[in-house]
Amino acid sequence: MDGRTQMRGDFDAVRNLYRHPDRQGTPGREFACKHDIYALKVVFLPAQGAQRTGKLPKAKEVYEALLSLAQLYPPNEIDTNYSTAVIDCLKGDFAQSSEAGFFLDFREKVIDRMSAGLKL
């Protein structure tokens, strides 16, 4: 959010699956939040299919897909604090020694990082 998008091309089929059509291949537009919303909808589509069929996707595959999606954005396209906080939330790697320790670790790894991005 603090820098301009590099308009370099990326033709990887898996990464482009989640990208808004304006951002696939050689991007036609600079990155915008609506592109994240598009990617989120791509992730939700399998969940909607699971509701219709009654078959859930494998939990590990969903986790890996979400983690891959969170790691797709190079630091120049999305604030590093934000993307790191999202990845930490997905991994759930917070102190488990006590409830207080968990919340302090969560605050440091997520809340404080997100707050730093809001100050920009």
Task: Give the pLDDT confidence of 42-97 residue by residue, as tens digits.
Answer: 877 877 777 788 887 777 888 888 888 778 765 555 577 888 888 898 898 888 88
- pLDDT beyond 50 at 1: no
- The residue ranking higher by pLDDT, 76 or 4, is 4
Measured CA to CA, the distance from residue 5 to residue 28 in angstroms comes to 11
Q: In this structure, how many other beta carbons lie within 10 angstroms of the beta carbon of residue 1? A: 12
Q: Three-state SS for 57?
A: coil
- What whole-number distance in Å separates Cα of residue 91 and Cα of residue 71? 12
CA atoms within a 13 Å half-sphere pointing along the CA-CB vector of 41 = 8
Residue 116 has pLDDT above 50, yes or no: yes
| H or E, element range at 23 | none
pLDDT value, residue 63: 85
Spatial CB neighbours of 79, under 8 Å, sequence gap ≥ 6: 1, 2, 117, 120
